[in-house]
Structure formats: structure tokens, C-alpha cells
Amino acid sequence: MGAATSAIAREWQLGAPVVGMCTNLQGSWLGIALGDGRLAMLKAEEFPDNPKFVALHEGVALSLAPDADGAGFLTGGDDGRVCVIEPSSDAPTILAEHKGKWIDHVAASGKEGLRAYAIGKELFLLDAEGKQAGAPLPHPSSIGGLAFTPKGKRIAASHYNGVSLWWTHAREQQPNVLAWKGSHLGILWHPEGKIVMTTMQEGALHGWRLSDMNEMRMAGYAGKVRSMAWTAKSKYLASSGAGVPVCWPFTGGGPWGKPPLTPGSERPALVTQVAPHPRDEMLAAGYADGAAALLPLDGRSIDVMIAPAVEGGAIAGLAWNGDGDCLFAAREDGTLMLFTLQSVGRAVKGGKP
């Protein structure tokens, strides 16, 4: 089912390519990392002011994550800086600087107040005061992704041939290595901290259940999986990389031997981003042709197209606010769109109030 009129409540041009996008931990502000080193921020609400821009990096803002304090954002750039910025501030705090290095990945733990970043094969942990905690942690190859456990007691780093698990408060330790051949990139913990999942270079997911080290491998994607997220109550792991979102069931013993849920209709463009609603059984999906859709996860075959396809503007960021009444979508070309429940409802009804 397509929206008869535009479902876009507001639209902005950010003036630079979009590198990444997320809300803060409170879900109250949206941050968009841009290819010119700036961070755009705006309130994640139905009637926000125009985005506020802050210059953080001299080159490209390579990485973005919600900061540990709940309000701000943590970024890394190709200028070697690790910065934290509050929405109320006009200037960042530089936590670390490594001239000539690229900060490809950053992560933060709201529970423990910790931050982390990666340079090549090394993982750096920062304590609650923002000071480096111990020596850099080495890995056998470049780090592909970082993720703290939900309680912040451990951090996982993906790399070639597996994942290394580290305790965040141990100063002398060897990592617990989860091995699987191939290049592991994005990484995500189950909300209960019992399962860790990775995206892989060759268009697949791999995961480990830590209680018994039972592994799971989900293959067959048409492209690289660039986005994965848990749906409400962790019922499914939603993922991009195919013509429809691929949602693996994680209830009733896990995904082993079960087919995935594939909501929506197959489109010629691959799914590039997924964003499950924070409470309801609904998923937002963004596509390589710039389109976006809302899809129910209750078995109904309904597509609510909320953004049309455009030339040269794949969806590069997709995020709900904390209340779940506003959805933001960003295209690679710097177009930012806001959808509200009201604007989508009006569009579905053909513009009638």
C-alpha cells in the first residue's frame, strides 16, 4: 500500500554527505555525522527548530555513537580526534587526539560511563572521567566494529576471523576470542548480553550464544549487511542487505532451524537501513534508491511507502526518537526527512485531515 500524498512532515538539506546518524541515549536529540567534519543536531520531536551545526573534525567525521552521559554524542574523525559534544554546547570537548590516524569506530556505555575507540588494530578504553584506562588492547587485524555489553562490563571488538571480548575494568587480561573465518564488521549485543552478532564482508551474519558457544550463521544476502537492530522486546533481529528486511526470530529457543520474517514487498533496490519501532511491532526500512517504508511485523503484508525513490540518494541513516512518534531518515546526499505519526496518517488517508 503506497502513501497517496507525501508523508514527509519536514525536510532539510544538510549541505554535505551523511556518514552516520543516531539519537542520543535519551532519544531526545538526533545527531548526523557529515562528510565535511560537522555534526548536525536537532531535537527529536514533532516540531523541531532547524538543525544546529558544530564543526568537530578537520576532515571527515568517520564514526558516531550516543555518548555515555545520555545527552550528547561521541565522534571520531580522520583528523585523529575523539570528540564529545552536548546539544546545548557550541564547541566539542576533545577527549583524545592521534595525529595522522583515523578513528574508525567509537562506542560508549551509559551504564558504566565508559567510552572506547579504535585505531587500526588497537582498542582504547576511556574511564568515566574521559582518561585513557590502561594500555591499548591489541587485535590480530584491523577492528571492524565495537560494542559494549548492555551493562558495560565487557566490550566486543570484531576483526578478521572473529571477535575479541574484553572485560572493561580488568587491566591485565587476555581476550576471549570467538573464532569464525572471514571479515567481521558491524557488531551488536542482544539486550540481555547473552548473544553477540556480527555482520560479515561477504553478505552474512554470524553470532555466538555465550552460555553454550552455540553459533548461528545467516547467509544468502544479496549485498553487504550494513544495518541490524533488535525489534521491540527482542523478538526479531532485523537486518538490511536484501530486497526486503530480513528479520530472524529470537524467541522460543532462538533462530536455529527457523525461517526469517521478510515483511514488505520485494523491491529492485536493496534495503540499506532498518530501524525497529522502540515499542510496537513495526519496522522502518530505507532502500538504496532513497525510498523508505513502514512495515508491520505481525505477519500482515502491508507496505506504507513514506519516501519516494530518488536518483543518487540511498538512505544512509534511519532513527526513531525515544517516544516512537517521530522517524528521521537521511539520504547520502545530505537530505534529512522527518516523518510523524500525523504526517504518515494524513498521507495514507490521501491528505484528508
Tens-place pLDDT, residues 187-211: 999 999 999 999 999 999 999 999 9
Q: What is the pLDDT of residue 351?
A: 54
Per DSSP, what are the bridge partners of residue 218? 205
Q: Is the pTM of this model over 0.85?
A: yes
SS (H, E, C) 239-264: ECCCCCCEEEECCCCCCCCCCCECCC
Here the cell at position 54 is 558544530
- Give the model's pLDDT for residue 353: 44
Residues in the chain: 353
Question: CA 21 to CA 318: how far, in whole Å?
Answer: 7
Backbone angles phi, psi at 344, to 5 degrees: -70, -40
Residues 6 or more apart from 233 whose CB is under 8 A from it? Answer: none
Compute the radius of gyration of the chain from its Cα atoms. 19
Per the listing, cell 575494568 goes with 169
Specify whether the CB–CB gap between 296 and 277 falls below 8 A: no
**Contact 64/73 with Cβ under 8 angstroms?**
yes
Residue 353: burial class (beta carbons within 10 Å; 0-12, 13-18, 19+): exposed
**Closest by alpha carbon to 242, among 268, 220, 221?**
221
Q: What is the pLDDT of residue 1?
A: 52
Residue segments in the chain with a per-residue pLDDT below the cut of 50: 3-4, 353
236-239/195-200 β-pairing: unpaired
Element (H, E) at 87: none
Q: Are 92 and 85 in contact (CB under 8 A)?
A: yes
- Measured CA to CA, the distance from residue 37 to residue 332 in angstroms comes to 15
Closest by Cα among 157, 153, 156 to 170 = 153
Cβ atoms of 49 and 10 closer than 8 Å: no
232 Cβ contact list (under 8 Å, min separation 6):
276, 277, 278, 279, 280, 281
3-state helix, strand, coil in the chain (%, to 5): 5, 45, 50
Per-position b or e across 126-155, b if 16+ CB within 10 A of its CB: beeebeebeeebebeebbbbbbbbbebbbb
Count the neighbouring beta carbons within 10 Å of the beta carbon of residue 189: 20
Say how many CA atoms lie within 13 Å of 301 toward its Cβ: 2
User: Is the torsion defined by CA of 158, 159, 161, 166 positive or negative?
Assistant: negative
SS3 346: helix
Question: Residue 186 is placed in which grid cell?
Answer: 558491524
Give the whole-angstrom CA distance, residue 66 versus residue 81. Answer: 16
Question: Could you give the C-alpha distances from 228 to 50, 186, 231, 301, 351, in angstroms and in order?
Answer: 29, 8, 10, 21, 33
